[in-house]
């Protein structure tokens, strides 16, 4: 199997600590053939000027690792752009500033709120949290330039972590609408398998993954969302199994933002 991982962080992300070289070495050991680095750029923190030095450092690492690991593994220059809707103009300036292979858009916080990882969850505010989140998805799909939407049911990571009961069925119309628009525009979603490592669900859930497929979804990347070398490769086969069971036969990879299908 041609293994790909399209969601990997390095110490260029504030919540990760390993070097790009360490991540690539480990991925090569695991026989991962293609790795897309997707360090965080949070648009709510600032635009191109604010992030420029870090983007340049990431790009230099990419070029260096391509040299070091030539013929061993394919390294793609991606990024995970958070909160693009805060400033679509600066978002686009970032996308245009470097020769990215792959652009993933994510929502880590709703406008005017704390990050979902830092919020206080209670059973009584679950509907409020989910509604606020799902309402933003379509804005991202309509207004921003990206290849895949990252962890598209993101708040569920924390709702599960804190044992809050939720019923996503009530919000499925928002996802269906986004899925149809993504499919019509030749874009897609990722299957983020980070939750599987912690005994929770992948993002999106299997139910939403099937719904994506039923609504025309074809483009899907597989991402571990690894923030350290030890996370790489874990639960990979389970991710592939979920994709196959949901009806997918291909993963998608990106070079210079051009798609390629990989049989699974
Ligand atoms: Zn993320
Ligand atoms: Zn991430």
CA of 131 to the centre of ligand 1 (A): 19
Q: What does the pLDDT look like over 106-117, one tens digit per residue? A: 999 999 899 999
CA of 160 to the centre of ligand 1 (A): 16
3-state SS, residue 56? helix
Q: What percent of the chain has pLDDT over 90?
A: 95
CA of 106 to the centre of ligand 2 (A): 8
The answer to whether 188 touches 221, Cβ cutoff 8 Å, is yes
CATH number at residue 101: 3.20.20.140
pLDDT(124) > 90 = no
The whole-angstrom separation of Cα 61 and Cα 48 is: 19
The answer to whether 222 touches 5, Cβ cutoff 8 Å, is yes
At residue 95, φ and ψ (nearest 5 deg) are -60, -35
Query: How many domains is the chain built from?
Result: 1
pLDDT(35) > 90 = yes
What does pTM read for this prediction? 0.97
Residue carrying the six token digits 């990024």: 79
The whole-angstrom separation of Cα 216 and Cα 92 is: 27
Query: What b/e sequence results for 169-191 when a residue is b if at least 16 CB atoms lie within 10 Å of its CB, and e otherwise?
Result: eebeebbeebbebbbeeebbbbb
What is the pairing mode between strands 220-223 and 148-149? Answer: unpaired
Residues 6 or more apart in contact with residue 139 via CB below 8 angstroms: 85
Question: Which domain does 156 fall in, by range?
Answer: 3-263
CA of 105 to the centre of ligand 2 (A): 10
Ligand nearest to the CA of 203: 1
The answer to whether 262 touches 2, Cβ cutoff 8 Å, is yes
pLDDT(160) > 90 = yes
Helices 206-214/172-184 angle, 10° precision = 50
The whole-angstrom separation of Cα 129 and Cα 153 is: 12
The whole-angstrom separation of Cα 39 and Cα 173 is: 31
- The residue that leads in pLDDT, 176 or 111, is 176
The whole-angstrom separation of Cα 191 and Cα 69 is: 26
CA of 5 to the centre of ligand 2 (A): 12
Query: Which of these, 217, 144, 235, 127, lies nearest to 180 by C-alpha position?
Result: 217
For position 122, what pLDDT does the model report? 86
The whole-angstrom separation of Cα 114 and Cα 109 is: 6
């Amino acid at each position: 199997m041609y293994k790909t991982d399209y969601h990997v962080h390095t110490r260029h992300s504030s919540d990760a600590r390993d070097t790009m070289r360490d991540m690539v070495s480990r991925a090569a050991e695991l026989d991962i053939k293609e790795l897309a680095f997707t360090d965080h750029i949070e648009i709510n923190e600032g635009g191109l000027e604010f992030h420029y030095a870090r983007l340049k450092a990431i790009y230099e690492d990419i070029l260096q690792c391509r040299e070091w690991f030539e013929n061993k593994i394919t390294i793609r220059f991606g990024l995970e752009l958070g909160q693009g809707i805060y400033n679509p103009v600066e978002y686009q300036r970032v996308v245009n500033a470097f020769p990215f292979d792959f652009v993933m858009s994510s929502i880590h916080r709703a406008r005017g709120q704390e990050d979902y990882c830092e919020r206080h969850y209670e059973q009584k505010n679950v509907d409020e949290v989910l509604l606020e989140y799902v309402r933003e998805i379509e804005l991202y799909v309509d207004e921003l330039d990206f290849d895949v939407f990252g962890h598209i049911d993101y708040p569920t990571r924390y709702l599960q972590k804190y044992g809050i009961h939720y019923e996503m069925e009530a919000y499925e119309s928002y996802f269906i609408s986004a899925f149809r628009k993504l499919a019509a525009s030749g874009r897609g979603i990722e299957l983020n398998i980070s939750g599987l490592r912690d005994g929770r669900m992948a993002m999106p859930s299997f139910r939403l993954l099937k719904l994506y497929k039923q609504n025309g979804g074809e483009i899907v990347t597989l991402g571990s969302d690894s923030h350290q070398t030890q996370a790489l490769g874990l639960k990979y086969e389970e991710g592939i199994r979920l994709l196959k069971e949901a009806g997918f036969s291909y993963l998608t990879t990106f070079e210079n933002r051009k798609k390629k299908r990989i049989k699974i």
